[in-house]
Structure formats: C-alpha cells, structure tokens
Amino acid sequence: MLEQGVAPESVLEELGGFTGKDVDWQSGRVLTGLYDPGHEAHELAVKAYTRFLAHNALYVNMYPSLSRLEQEVVASVLMLLRGDEQTVGNITSGGTESILMAVKTARDWARVNRPEVRDPQIVVPVTAHPAFIKAAHYCGLRVVQTPVDTQGFRADMPAFVDALGPETVLAVGSAPNFSHGTIDPIEAMSEAARERGILFHVDGCVGGIYLSLLRRMGEPVRDFDFSLPGVTSISADLHKYGYVPKNASVVMYRNRDLRQHAWFVSTETTGYAVINPTVQSTRTGGPVAAAWAMFRYMGEAGYAGLVRRSQQATAEMLAAIKDMDDIEVLADPEMCMFTLASDSLNVFEIDDEMRARGWHMIPQFACAGGPANLHVSVSDANVARTHEFLAELEAVVTQLRENGSGVDQAGIEQMVAEVQGQPPEAVMEAMVPVLGLEGAELPERMATLNTGMNLLPAATRNAILALYFNIMY
C-alpha cells in the first residue's frame, strides 16, 4: 500500500470502493448506534469538526479556543443534569472513557479517603454496561454484579444494598441501561450508597441528555441526576442522543475535591509536562467543536423536537408490537430504546431476516433471567420509517412462523453440552465448523452462530470470542 503515492481523487475513489458492504447509515433503517441529526445539522457538524481537526486539545495554551468550547459544552450538560456551582466535568472520547475515568477516580479517591480498603470493588447491577467491567479490569478492581428484576430489568434493591460492603469504592446505576431501556431506582440506590459513605455513579451515557430534555419538556422522569445528593459522578454521551459526531462524551463530578483524583500529571521525564484529566493525551479538537456547534445550532427547542419525535415513534412501535403474535417487548422501556423477544421463534433468525431487508438491530444474549433479544434504539432518522419497520417486522415474524426454523437447535445444544468444561481452544475448535466460522469473515447469516454463543456460559463465550478475533485481525 505504501509503494507509491496516488492522487487525491484516486485515493477517495479507492476509499469509496471499500464501503460496498457497509451499512447505509443514511437509510433510516439502522436501529442502533447511529444518531443522525439530519442533513443541515450534519453538514454543520462536519464543517465545525474539520475546522478544528488539526487543533490538539493537549496543548491548552496553544489552543485556548478549545478550552473555551469544552467549558461551554460541559456547562450546558451540567445544567441539563442539574449540577450546581460545585459540579465540574470534562469531555472524553465516549461512554467507555467517561466510565473508565469515573471508576479510576473512585479508586484513587478511596486510596486517599478510605485507606482501610484492601480489596477494592465496584457494585453494578447486571444491566450496567460492559464498560464498567472493562474499567474495573483496567483499574485492577473486583466487580460485584447484582441481579435485576426480570419484569423491568431494574436493579433489585435488597440485593444491591446487600452487596454494598466495606470494600465497595463505587456503586453504579443506569439511566437507563442500554440493553432494555429501563432506569434503575437511582434515588434509593444513591441514598443507600451515601448512607454508607460510598461514591455513586450514574451511567447516563445513553440517556443523560435525552431524559433531562424530556423532564424539561414537562414529562414525568424520575430523578437520576445531581439533584440527588448521593450521586457523585455522571457520564453522558454527546455522540449518542446529543447527536454530535463521534467521539464525544462528558464525565461529570460532584465537586473539584472528587475530580482531583481524576488527574494524571507527569513531569519526571525528559519530555514535556503531561497534565491530563482524561485518558487521552493528544486529541483532536474536532468532536469538541462539533459538539459546541450542534448545541448552538439545535438550541434546547431543536433537541426537544428530536426527543418528541423519537418518543412518539417509539410509542407507536411499542403499541403495534403488542398486537403482533410471536414477538414481544421486554420490560417497560422508559425512553426510546427497547428489546424484542420471542417465546416461539428464534430471535436471531428474526435479526437475520430483518438485516437481509436492510434493518439493523443488535442481538443480545440471554442474561439475568431474561431471554435472548434484539435491541432497538430509535433516533430521529428512524422516525419516518416507523411504519415500514413495523410492516417488515410483522412480515418476517409471519414468514418464520410459517416456514419454521432453519437453525438446528437440537444439534447445537448437543454440541454445547459435549464441549462443556473444556478449555476455550477446544470449544472453539469444536464449534467453528458447526457455527459457520471457517471463512475470513463472519457469516452473513448469524443465527446459528448466535444460537450457539447464546448457549455458552459467558466466561467461555468471552474466551472464545477473544481467541477468534485475535486470529481474524
């Protein structure tokens, strides 16, 4: 690839050639991980982003504009989340980095303020995002996962309170969880943490901005933000329902005393002074400028319009799916995200059929007493497609009901039973041919693969996925 340089037009043409198999993000049929604010807003964001692309946010002295833009964006998000003159925040690259910072800050706060802690751990309901498991892994902390109720997928309070102990350095609730779109009992959880002197993080990565707007629009939203005294940190992603281009999120802290433990400073090398409140050091100014531009362009009324339309489309979807046979929505979603499950059909086959028709959802494995399901996040770009989605979903469900399953469920179950207890390498070897994993790419139809994965214990699944992707890339 590096042999010889090529003219810009040719490079762009070549790049375009790679995207043939990519999802069409402008189709309105991508129902997860995509937040398209519409043509005009997108164009503005692109211009703002590229204008600050070469700015390096590491050098605050060289680019004071970036500090200013960041502070104004953070102040707006803090206002939405009912911060006060004490609360502070920083922009990060995404939910995972915001969560990593909240976990690291809690660990380091405890090192100073609770030196008796020997085996620091975080307590998270099983619906908390995997970013917490990752953060704990990176920070060398233990994770205690607590159960949720299988009707609402909200933290089970007695179990959560039971898990809070002398070694807990951070407890967590989601507003809402990504998987099912329901909000944990944040008030009670944060209060239980506060009574025990434990820090409490609210994961508002997906819902922080959206739910705050909804509340300000006069809709009933249970308190989940800094209005609750026990809440000590919050993450809220700009690149989700803030409709800002990736990568942008905000991590917020109750006060500067807590954020003091976020900083990493190093001046003991031959190099320049590193002074970082987040993980990244060198980072482009693009996302910060795009976030600022989007906030200015939308204003609260613009955002409220996006929220209103998504809420309405989601309500229509939920009502229509309720009337369909062989498919149901789990729990009682509290914003514009929900999951589809079925007692009689294989949801992974529904996913394949919908994907063949251009609809993209996210399969989720059975967990916490709930069945395997398909996650849907509704954003503004999907609103105009609501009826089409519902019609195609019904058609797919009918087709699968009439044609029967193409997945050899019994065969897969038998294979999984046979590999039980074997090391991951052996499990993978046995499963590769059965699940269609032989090629250099993942199979187009994923139902057999997902059915097999769904039956494995999570630890085995984690191990073989790591083995597999390590070979693939």
Residue 223's nearest CA partner among 246, 240, 200, 243 is 200
Give least dist CB 128 to ligand PLP, A.
Answer: 8
Tell me if 456 contacts ligand PLP by CB under 6 A: no
Strands (E) in 277-434, as ranges, are 328-329, 337-341, 362-364, 373-377
Give least dist CB 135 to ligand PLP, A.
Answer: 10
Tell me if 205 contacts ligand PLP by CB under 6 A: yes
> Which of 108, 237, 334, 351 contacts ligand PLP by CB under 6 A?
237
Site for ligand PLP in 98-157 (CB under 6 A): 99, 129, 131
- Residues paired with residue 150 on neighbouring β-strands, in sequence order: none
Binding mask 155-194 for ligand PLP (x = CB under 6 A): -------------------x---x----------------
- Residues 33, 38, 43: CA angle, nearest 5 degrees: 100
Phi, psi of 90 (to 5 degrees): -140, 155
Give least dist CB 131 to ligand PLP, A.
Answer: 5
Tell me if 242 contacts ligand PLP by CB under 6 A: no
Per-residue tokens: 387 = 């009826």
How far is 210 from 238, CA to CA, in rounded Å?
10
Binders of ligand PLP: how many residues, by CB under 6 A? 13
Q: Which stretch binds ligand PLP (CB under 6 A): 94-102, 116-124, 183-191, 264-272?
A: 94-102
Tell me if 52 contacts ligand PLP by CB under 6 A: no
> Which of 136, 206, 236, 456 contacts ligand PLP by CB under 6 A?
206
* Kind of pairing between the strands at 121-125 and 233-237: unpaired
Give the DSSP letter string of 105-120.
HHHHHHHHH-TT-SS-
Please report which helix (H) or strand (E) contains residue 409, including its range. Answer: helix 409-419
Query: How many residues does the structure list for the chain?
Result: 473
Q: Which stretch binds ligand PLP (CB under 6 A): 5-13, 40-48, 91-99, 436-444?
A: 91-99
Tell me if 94 contacts ligand PLP by CB under 6 A: yes
Give least dist CB 241 to ligand PLP, A.
Answer: 10
Tell me if 225 contacts ligand PLP by CB under 6 A: no
Contact at 8 Å (CB) between 317 and 387? no
Amino acid at 107: R
Binding residues for ligand PLP, rule: CB under 6 A, are: 94-96, 99, 129, 131, 174, 178, 203, 205-206, 237, 249
